[in-house]
Amino acid sequence: MDIINKQNQLVEIYNRFEKDMRRYKKDALCKAGCSFCCTHFGNVDIITLEGLRVLQYLRRLPKQQQKTLQKKIDKNKKDREIQKISPCPFLKSDKTCLIYDIRPFSCRRLYSVKNCGDKGPIVHRQAEELSKKTIMELQDLDSNGYSGHITYILDLLRQPEFLKLYLSGGFNPVQIAAYGKAHGIVINCSRI
């Protein structure tokens, strides 16, 4: 399957998930501007296919905005590397998401039926099961890709050799072995 078909299928999976989640999310207290999930959790895990969508979006922005965002992405990456919790680089000053329409699955799955305090979001058990199943489906779809924290995956995709191989459908985990090990990146097809 080529990359365009994979990206279309990614959107289909998102849409189906949203539909299946409606019955649970109707109880959610989440509202625009809350941003607890975007600031209090270190990890925003994504698959490479989602990273590619984000990268394509970034490359269409005005050059100056790209530069500013890249600084935020680099800072988030550095903070993560020293286990420091850092706000998502795509969180805007008004506490909304710059990439909301193309936000990754880990942001779509989260909601809470209680106010997020020290314990974080409270979700229905069935919704958690549905999320886990969907993550496996996404990893199967992105079978020549990887999963990991958003700024680490974006960093990989910014490497021309990696991007070229990935876009061609190729797969060479040795190419990223050292970086992957140091940054907790996993191979999607290792589950199969």
Q: Is 189 in the site for ligand SF4 (CB under 6 A)?
A: no
Q: Is 91 in the site for ligand SF4 (CB under 6 A)?
A: yes
Contacts 24+ apart (CB under 8 A), 165-171: 166/48, 166/52, 167/3, 169/2, 169/3, 169/144, 170/144, 171/143, 171/144
Residues 6+ away with beta carbon under 8 Å from 16: none
In terms of Cα–Cα distance, which of 41, 30, 15 is closest to 96?
30
How many angstroms separate the CA atoms of 147 and 156, rounded?
11
Q: Is 58 in the site for ligand SF4 (CB under 6 A)?
A: no
Q: Is 99 in the site for ligand SF4 (CB under 6 A)?
A: yes
How many angstroms separate the CA atoms of 45 and 38, rounded?
12
Q: Which is nearer to ligand SF4, 91 or 176 (CB)?
A: 91
Binding part of the chain for ligand SF4, among 63-71, 83-91, 116-124, 163-171 by CB under 6 A, reads: 83-91
Q: Which is nearer to ligand SF4, 6 or 108 (CB)?
A: 108
Q: Is 28 in the site for ligand SF4 (CB under 6 A)?
A: no
Q: Is 88 in the site for ligand SF4 (CB under 6 A)?
A: yes
Q: Binding residues for ligand SF4, per CB under 6 A?
A: 38, 44, 88, 90-91, 97, 99, 103, 107
